Chains A and B, each alone.
Chain A
């Protein structure tokens, strides 16, 4: 049972445009969400996070939006740059719990 789902295995975006990566979850107990970025042959690196008490968190070119009623979050990257080409994982957790549950990942390709 996949509690965190990223339904788009891949996404291709032109350089300079907006990239939108989506993530859905089924467990209403999740109250903290994170995005990680992964380059080939490297480990994931933390990108941005959001608590369920917020609906938006922004860090430079990266913004995460949370829609609790729809159990949906999205990562917006504006403007997209070639170095953003990577696999992006969303992850969810329950406050006070030790475990993260990851989605399957979305491969983002930024085209010149």
Chain B
């Protein structure tokens, strides 16, 4: 199975400041069709996960543009340009290229 490794696991941030989360996969996530199926999910306290980013950098409908995804191959990043209070929660990367799907351990974002 593909192992997804996130860092850091805890991220205290100041309101209005940027934040960045890294996700590395144990194998390339480039699929045979040429696309890379790397997703980012946000889970706010007490809520179901919500997908923010798919195919590395495509934002889901309704996701604020302060969220952006980048990367290629085995190395990916989620960036929040200016953290807001509503961004508190746990962020997960998940690969959708190989079966079974696998998640990173999660990164807890909190306000300093």
**Is B one of A's binding partners?**
no
- The interface of chain A, by Cβ under 8 A from chain B, is none
